Each structure stands twice: as C-alpha cells, then as structure tokens.
Structure 1
Amino acid sequence: MKKLILSALLCINSLAFAHCSNPVVCEMKYVDQAFTKTALTGEALDKARAMREEGEKLYKDGNEDDAIKVLKKAKKYLLEGKLDS
C-alpha cells in the first residue's frame, strides 16, 4: 500500500511540472495572456511590449535568468499597472 501511495504521489508531482518544460517560454506565454487582461493603454502598453520583447531577446541570447526577471516584471506591470524599482 505504501508503494502504491508513493508511486501515485510521484506521478502527480511529475505531472505538475510537465506543463512547463521551459520556464522562459512559459513566462512569455503568461505575459502574452496578461496583455489580454490589462487595463494599460498608450505609452504604458508600449512599455510593456518593449519589456516583453527585451525578455525574448535575452532568452534568445542565452541569458535565461535575466529574461525571466524582465518577463515577470512585465507581467506584473500589465496586471497591476506599476513597476518595482
């Protein structure tokens, strides 16, 4: 019984992470989704687009850690309308 429960837990745990094999790509998708929910307009929206593009460029240049930071910042900006320093 213990083996069955352990096997089930391991299977569920691995499925939880299966949806996102590349965290940068997933973060880009989250940012893209945030564009559909944002109240930002004009220059603020342009700034968010620039941040999204910067994140993608960083990723393509091999700088994944910075890409994730920029993309998370863009997502927060889109959803909350404010930037942290």
Structure 2
Amino acid sequence: MRTLVLILGLMLAGAAWATNCPNEMKEIDAKLQTKPQLSKADADKVAKLRADGEKFHKEGKHAESMAALTEAKKILGI
C-alpha cells in the first residue's frame, strides 16, 4: 500500500511540474517584453535557455525544461 501511495504521489508531482513549464515560459516572456538591460551574451543565453526549455517540455523532459527555464529566470533577475 505504501508503495502504491508513493508511486501515485510521484506521478502527481511530475504532472504538476510538467504543467508549470508553460507558466515559467510566460513569466520569462513577460520579463523580456519589458526590454531588460542585458548584455548581448546574456540576451543570447536567455533566448537559448527559453527555447531549450520549451523544446524539453514538448519532449516530456520536464526536469530539464525547468532547469533551463530557472537558469533563464536567474539571468533575468526573476
């Protein structure tokens, strides 16, 4: 019974994390709309991380997606 509860909990946690990827992308996009002062290197890195995050999300690699999006948010200061 404990194993079943643990498996169910992990599945729900994974689903919750998966649905947060789009919210993270929206937050990054909103910040980018404000035209933050970034160096060319940082702007390029944020764009790549944002694109990677979306790609990973579509591939079902939500941990990788969240890692990329979190890094982009860190550079943006959010």
Shift of 1:41: 3.3
Structure (1/2) with the larger helix percentage: 2
Do the aligned partners of 1:38 and 1:79 also contact (CA within 8 Å) in 2? no
Q: Find the counterpart in structure 2 of residue 44 from structure 1.
A: 42
Shift of 1:38: 2.2
Q: Find the counterpart in structure 2 of residue 32 from structure 1.
A: 29
Question: Which has the greater radius of gyration?
Answer: 1
Stretches (4+) displaced over 4 A = none
Normalising by structure 2, report the TM-score: 0.66
Distance in 2, Cα, partners of 1:23 & 1:65: 11
Normalising by structure 1, report the TM-score: 0.61
Which amino acid is the alignment partner of residue 26 of structure 2? Answer: K
Shift of 1:69: 1.5
Larger RCO (CA under 8 A, 6+ residues apart):
2
Moved more, 39-48 or 23-32: 39-48
Shift of 1:43: 2.2
State the identity %: 33
Residues 1:64 and 2:62 aligned together: yes
Distance in 2, Cα, partners of 1:59 & 1:67: 5
How many aligned residue pairs are there? 60
